[in-house]
Structure 1
């Protein structure tokens, strides 16, 4: 299996994106940052490489989609509590992100936002008991 994940995302303004994610409480690994890309650390083994769109295009022959008008990827990250979900998404919206949908299933809660470039981010929490036995079985226990 894999040890790490790197999600590469094209951005219009690398410094603006860096400022946005730092204001959300994330940090960057400066060993892998330059004028073309910035390594956004999302977890111990999760990194998003934010790349200037022109630089991103050197890795593909395909058209780069405009994430504000087309869906390219849905990035979902876990949170430790419902309150952490709300805090992070509310802060993102305060910083200029577009608020997205909210899903509340009791044992699982999530909210989405679109970052400054339109990339879709989902932040979700799941009751640890539901993680242990599985969401369907957990839901049946309450029935």
Structure 2
């Protein structure tokens, strides 16, 4: 079974959000984009629905948090290499994103966080393939013996 993922993100400036995600290499699906929302295509199975805060609020009775002040969700993406992590971060930072914490290098995994201009948190990581298949402890033990 194939599952598509739609992540809903609030924005205070829809046009700015569209430009930010385009700068990361995403496309905007015009069939599901209007003055209230934009469908950001990350891949054939992953989409962001960037919604104006007012429109976002119509889908829930819960308060919509300010992602610059509170973290509700962080979406992370596995990349093919450390260089790919750094490259997408460079694009995001140049497009108005922010890096809220320093890069994390755990030996078996390298990760960086990127906040979009609204403060929504995206994570990008590279995990050594051996660590992914054997687990981080086994990978690190193998490196210490070398």
Q: Same fold (TM over 0.5)?
A: yes
Look up the SS of the partner of 2:68 in the other structure: coil
1-side partners of 2:76 and 2:32: how far apart? 23
Q: How many residues align?
A: 143
Unaligned runs of 5+ in 2: none
Which residue pairs with 2:109 in the alignment?
108
Unaligned runs of 5+ in 1: none
Question: Relative to 1, partners in 2 of residues 1:18 and 1:109: Cα closer, same or farther, differing over 3 Å?
Answer: same
2-side partners of 1:54 and 1:98: how far apart? 24
Moved over 6 A (4+): none
CA RMSD of aligned residues (A): 1.4
Which residue pairs with 2:80 in the alignment?
80
Contact 1:39 1:48 in 2 (8 A): yes
Contact 1:33 1:39 in 2 (8 A): yes
Q: Say which is worse superposed, 93-102 or 55-64, in terms of deviation.
A: 93-102
Higher share of residues assigned strand: 1
Provide Cα deviations, 1:26-85, integer angstroms capped at 9, x if missing partner: 112222212211111122211111001111000000111000011111111111110111
